[in-house]
Structure 1
Amino acid sequence: MSSNVSGTTTVIPMVGHPVQQVHMPGVINDRFRDKRIDAVMVPMDILPEALPHFAGLLRSAGNIPGAVITLPHKVAMAGLADRLTPRAHLLGAANVVSRQDDGTLLADMLDGSGMIGALSADNVPINGQQCWVIGAGAAGSAIALALAEAGAAEVWISDLDAAKASAIAARFATAGHNIIAGEPGGLEVISLVVNATTAGMGGVGSALPSQSLAVLPARCCIADVVTKPNDTPLLRAARDRGLRTISGDAMAEAQTNDVARFMGYQID
């Protein structure tokens, strides 16, 4: 980001409701500044009913090349975009959208690659491993798909709404991905658990009961998508058990390069 925002600065909104918890703007703005790129990412709190108006603005604003989309707008934005990448089409959700030269909006879903990047940066093995994703929303389904594509032996996806997890697993099955709906029967074999719910946001709650955490093997890694607080109750409890942990901030930082590239910037 340039030291002074001017008429030449491009603006990338990060759109959600709320946005107080977002971590990516600080990371990407630091990289814009380091690369002397005249751009800035700004969080914008957009009500769900206003999202179609925002999509219209994005099509016509010459200095907004695209936007990052966070909760609860990821599914809705996939429906508002003109085109989806195959990944976003399969997931039915998008967390990035860019305006093309013809003015149309192209959307993709990068939450899965962000989690894979965070795990890889900490040398957490995925290939051949047994993984459990808690939460079958946009982020959870994207992460489950990415784990399967990265070679996980088995991936379970669970949700308080069991029908939601079953629907996601069925959708993936049509694309040849064997992802299992529900909780794993034996936690002793699990080597990675990902919380992809809002449990822990604001420092309240945990997606994994203490009795389940106690059964997980010592090699297990616990990852969380929540960014505020970065150190969630789940991650603290996992560390108390001696387990490796991956934070939501690490996931956000890992996908920053992909987000910038999707908008047309090279920051890595």
Structure 2
Amino acid sequence: MTRPGSNAGGIEGMLSFNELTKRRGSRDILTDITFTARPGRVTGFLGPNGAGKSSTLRILLGLDRPTSGTALVDGQQFATLRDPMRKIGAVLDGSGAHRSRTGRAHLRWVARAAGISNRRVEEMLELVGIADAGNKRVSTYSLGMGRRLGLAAALIADPEALVLDEPVNGLDPEGIRWIRLFLREQAEQGRTVLLSSHLMGELAETVDDVVVIREGQIVADGTLAEVTGTHHTLEDAFFALTGDRGVR
């Protein structure tokens, strides 16, 4: 099934990183980062903590500037998008909601900013399974409920691409499974899904493609099967590629 209005044969929703470099003082944070996340697929952006995953995503979303290179949505930098919320939705740090607001009030605020009716708010509350908690304050939400609220806000404008930074950290097995199935469903509807993580076991059950970053440089880029290669698991491949002894 293709999401209505998408162009599965074109580049709508495609996220491309081209020789992206970021320096802070004399330190190289990112060096020549080049890869593509495509519509209809879940791309896992994998690396140890501090490898440069969050910095890459922040540049994509216009929250930081590169020293050189580009991070593009549909061939454009985020700052030049005419309607960014309809192009890309993101969850970088929980739900992003003020804790004194209710979940419903938060989504109505996001919808108003995007010029979207409150009817879409109710649809999103139902979609992520927190309709019954819509009138509760965000401060009372569990970690999993907060993640669901963040996804609802990211999807409220029906974007072509969805970007998430460590979406399952701290969740219980039920919450992890729900997010995995939810993201697979979003990709099947034609969206580009890019998620960063350092949890290899979970990524291996979720993604189509894998990009591995180590110390600000890409060390592997391909399908899950290609990156895993002759190793028994993605975790084994990760350790071989990064020289990491374990997830921190």
- TM-score normalised over the length of structure 2: 0.31
- TM-score normalised over the length of structure 1: 0.29
Greater per-residue strand proportion: 2
